[in-house]
Every structure is written in structure tokens, then in C-alpha cells.
Chains A and B, each alone.
Chain A
Amino acid sequence: MHQHGIKRGEVCALIIRHNPDFYPLYMAISSLGAIPAVLAYPNPRLHPDKFRQGIEGMSHRSGLDWILTEKELDPIIRPLVEKEGSTIKGIHFPLEWNKALTADDTFLNEIKELHQGIKNTDPLLLQHSSGTTGLQKPVLLSHRAVLNHVENYAEAIHLNENDKVVSWLPLYHDMGLIAAFHLPLAFGIPSVQVDPFEWVMVPSLLFEAISKEKGTVSWLPNFSYNMMADKIQDDELENISLESVRMFINCSEPVRKESHKKFHDRFEQYGLKPNSLSACYAMAETTYGVTQVEPGTEPSLLIVDRQEMSKGKIKISDDHEVSRACISSGKTIKGCEIKIVDENRNEVSDDSIGEIAIKSASMFDGYRNYPEKTAEVLQDGWYYSGDYGFKYNGEYYIIGRKKDIIIVTGNNVYPEDVEEAVSKVEDVIPGRVVAFGEEDPEIGSEQISVIAETNLLNEDEQKKLKMAIVKAGMDIDITIRKIYLVPPRWLIKSSAGKPSRKANRERIIDLKENKVELK
């Protein structure tokens, strides 16, 4: 890295598929005081223009200096680097580099000096969410934030020398990068990494790895509990034992009771312990974890009155017909404080629902080069998460969110990205589109739905239009599962004059509940 001109403070995007060489490359960037930013390797369905647009947006925002990737992406990325006015200094293919590098003492001393010059307040890494319309916010984390976090979070999960992490999580995501990589790295604990692309095709690979390596801790987004319980066949489970696992930690999308039950019932006979099903609440802005369920205990379950909930109050219910099951995300970990606030950011009482605000020893240093967005969420040392929840018996329950962001299988999707893509489809009335998340109990996650206004009335034409909308989603690597075509002026506008996602989502759900036939 040093020989290739990478310098302290420079942002290096790493776009590399599952590969053992990724890890030393990441650490090399960091050891020079440069800033690694792990980005998702583009799915073949993502249109090259959209991929470039995403990278360009990031480079404008965070001043991307170098791209380290695989040779295969050269024709796609090169035009961006060579474009006039590009801030990107160059593109490297480190997997092609000669590994038999020899270095003399002078060279090694140079590196040592660079390394020793790094302060713990310096930036360690940038976490970039994906997206195409430039809405992504680059989260900047210092060495101090990450070091504080690994220490405090390790304590929260009782991490010990006998632990072994097993993960299929992508490293461009905070759960994969911090929990399954930085945490074991800091404590010298083995981490077994399964290729996410392979896991999603053969989910039993995770269990194979756990069984073979006697894994003890694994973080999973909620949809994977459904996926493994529903899709893994009996013959794949021969010789599988999950007895070694002390924690499966559900995180990065809402924890669903049904998913835990399904997973438990399916795999109990393979040694799965009910008290290994844990949960936590986390976000990139606080490095990772904020709350954690006590190891060795099942998350508490509260049956709450739905009507009272809609008024923002928590009342325990014994009538299951009109209640909602809420699963605890546990207590705050060391170094974190939570307060629940109303819309004026005033603290509310314990029986009330509000926005979750967090103070953390692992707080981010803001969104890089984005002071206005940072100011929106950071105030007097508190990070306003945009998530709704409540506190009960000292534990925190997350029940929804203020922001329109859609969480699909643990990944954040900006509805604006989907709306922009769909708006450009012929016969969709421009600007008259809303995208939102719809709960899919079968997969245990949210799926993307779109309502679009059109003048087309003919059934065949509408069918073709739906296909064109699905394809517009594919170009930005997004699967639109449901499309509702509606006539002009159907969409309800918000006070700002734009179609309201919330109101129109509620309108559709209401119509479906009343069994009104939708196109």
C-alpha cells in the first residue's frame, strides 16, 4: 500500500469479493493511517451506470481517494477515475500484487513511523450505506470509538477465549465488519467467514461451518432465521451439531417472535439451545451495539395493548386478539445511555413510546463532509436514531421508525432511490410514485412495494408496465415485490405537496384489509 502511494488520511474504497486476502489488505490500509471504506461488490443485475453513479456520489461526498478492487471491474470503474474533475487518484488491483514482497529496514522503519503517528482520535474507517441517489451518509468512526466499542460489547456478550465467531455477513455492513471482524480481531478470537453469496444459495453452509469449527457466536439479521428454518433440508443436517453455539444474536432488522420460534422448533433436535437465541440493537453511528440481551437468557417478550400503543402508551395486555408481541433488545451495554424522547426531544415517561436517543462512548465523528446531516441527528452529545421504542423493566423494545427507510433483509434501502428509478419508466406519471416497505411474514423481513400513478387502463398494458417497473428496480439491484397501479391523483399528498409514503402505505394496507381488489 505504501509503495502504491497510499497516504495517511486518504479514503480507500475496498470493493473485493469474499477472499482471505481482503483482511490483510484492510489492515494494511489502516496501519498507514489511511481510511478503509468497504463497499459492496456489484451484483451482476446492477446497471454499470448506476454502480458508477453510486461510487461518484460517494466520492463527491467523502472525497474517495483510491479504489482497490478486482481486475474484472476495471472497465466499469476506469471511466470514473479518468473523468475530468474526478477526485479519485487511482485504481489498484491488490489481489494481483506480488505477495513475495521484500522490504529493507529503511522501508519497514518508514511504515513503523507512520503507524506510530496514528492517534486514537484519528479516523479508523468509513461505513458507507449503499444507494444510487446520493443519499448515502458516510459514517466516520475513530480508532477510539471502535476500541471502546469492542471492549464494551465484548463485556456485554461475555466474550471469552473459548469463543469462535462464525459469520456469513457481508463486511460492508456494520454487523459483519464490527461484530464479526473487528471484535474477534481485537481479542485474538478466531472468526470463520462464509461467503455471503454462497450462504444465500446454500444456507446450510453456516451450520456446516459452526459444526466443523465448533462456533460459539453468530450474528444474524431476522430474515435468516426464516430462511434457514424453511429452506434447509433434512439431508443437509446429517452430522450437524449446534450444541457449541452459546449465542445467535438477532440484529439489524426488527426481531420477530415467529422467526425465533420457527428456528428453535426446526433446529432444537440438532442441539440448538433455546437460551442461545439472543438479540441486540445496533447502528453504524454508535459503531455497533447499543443494547444487548443478557447472554444465556432468552429475550423478554411483552404482550402489549395495540390500541394503547397507537396512542403512544404501553399497557400490558392479556387479550391476544388486540395486542402486539414485542421482543426485548436487552439492556444498554457499558458506555451507552438511552433516553426516549417526544418530537420536541423532551424525555418521556417509562410507559411511553418515543424516539430513541443514544449517548455512546463509541459515537461516530459525524457523517463525513456532511455537517448539515450530522447536525440533524447529533445534538448535545445525543444521537437521535429515528427509531421508535420504549423502556420496560430496564430493557429496551424497538417497535418502528420515524424515517421512511426500508430494511430489506438487514439492508437499508432509501425509498427515494426506488421512486427515482420507477418515476422514469414510460407511462408512469413522473413524480407520482411512492415506495415503502411491506411486512412479509414468510421471509421474516420487509419487502419493497411501489404505488405508481398511470393513465393506462388496459389490463395487458398494465401488465407490461408492471414488468417495466420490476426491470427498473433490477437496474438499481432492487427487487420490487409488489406494484400497485393507480389512476392519476390517487396518491395522497403530504403537507409539503409530495406524495406521502406513510399515508399512501396506510391507504393500501387498509384497502387490502378490507379486501378491496387492487390492480
Chain B
Amino acid sequence: MISDELKKVILEALKLDDFDIKDETVASQVPGWDSLSHINVILAVEKHFNIRFNNREVLRLKNVGDLQRLVTSKLQG
């Protein structure tokens, strides 16, 4: 499940009013989420949750579900 909080951060970073974001959603399905804006999404998530991802973690993300799990594990850790 993608939390409303994460969804909001992603949509704001992409300047989108609304878009259905699920666990299996991949960046290429979301308007404006291209290779250039990907880093903006990652930085916005890090800033909002006050966490840091390392390079390997960023490169391993396959979909939004992976991002949600990573955020959750960082917040719990």
C-alpha cells in the first residue's frame, strides 16, 4: 500500500494534481516522471521524510512499492 503521505510528496514533486499511484506503478506510467525528474522525486521524498538513501538503494528501486518499503524501513530503522 502506498501511503497518502508518500503519494502526495511524489505528486507535488511532479507538479501533478492527481494520479492513481499503486504498489506496482512504475515511473514510466506517471506523466512527467522521466529520467530527468526522477532525481527530483527521490530528493523530495528524502527531504520530506528526513531520510537518506544510498546509491545502491536508489538504483535498485523498480516501482513505487519498492520506494514505499524503503521509506518505511528507513523510518523504522
Partner pick for B34 among A198, A233, A236, A479, CB 8 A cutoff: A479
- Is B73 an interface position by the 8 A CB rule? no
Tell me the chain A residues, 442-488 only, with Cβ under 8 Å from chain B: 443, 463, 467, 470-471, 474, 479, 481
- Is A119 an interface position by the 8 A CB rule? no
Stretch of A200-208, A353-361, A428-436 contacting B (4+ beta carbons < 8 Å): A200-208
Min distance, Cβ A22 to any Cβ of chain B, angstroms: 19
CA distance A236 to B54 in the complex (A): 9
**A44-B28, A471-B31, A474-B28 known; A200+B36 contact, CB < 8 A:** yes
- Is B65 an interface position by the 8 A CB rule? no
CA distance A223 to B34 in the complex (A): 15
CA distance A233 to B31 in the complex (A): 26
- Is B50 an interface position by the 8 A CB rule? no
- Is B1 an interface position by the 8 A CB rule? no
**A470-B31, A474-B31 known; A201+B58 contact, CB < 8 A:** yes
Min distance, Cβ A140 to any Cβ of chain B, angstroms: 29
Cβ contact within 8 Å between B28 and A202: no
**A201-B35, A470-B31 known; A235+B55 contact, CB < 8 A:** no
**A198-B59, A202-B58, A474-B28 known; A231+B43 contact, CB < 8 A:** yes
Chain B residues near A204: list those with CB within 8 A.
55
Residue in chain B with minimal CB distance to A197: B35
CA distance A337 to B31 in the complex (A): 45
Chain B residues near A498: list those with CB within 8 A.
none
CA distance A385 to B48 in the complex (A): 47
Residue in chain B with minimal CB distance to A443: B36
Chain A residues near B38: list those with CB within 8 A.
200-201
**A201-B39, A202-B55, A231-B39 known; A479+B32 contact, CB < 8 A:** yes
CA distance A202 to B39 in the complex (A): 8
- Is A209 an interface position by the 8 A CB rule? no
Min distance, Cβ B50 to any Cβ of chain A, angstroms: 13
Residue in chain A with minimal CB distance to B56: A202
Q: Mark A118-158, 1 if CB is under 8 A from B, else 0.
A: 00000000000000000000000000000000000000000
CA distance A231 to B39 in the complex (A): 7
CA distance A69 to B3 in the complex (A): 39
- Is B26 an interface position by the 8 A CB rule? yes
Min distance, Cβ A43 to any Cβ of chain B, angstroms: 7
Tell me the chain B residues, 7-41 only, with Cβ under 8 Å from chain A: 17, 26, 28-29, 31-32, 34-40
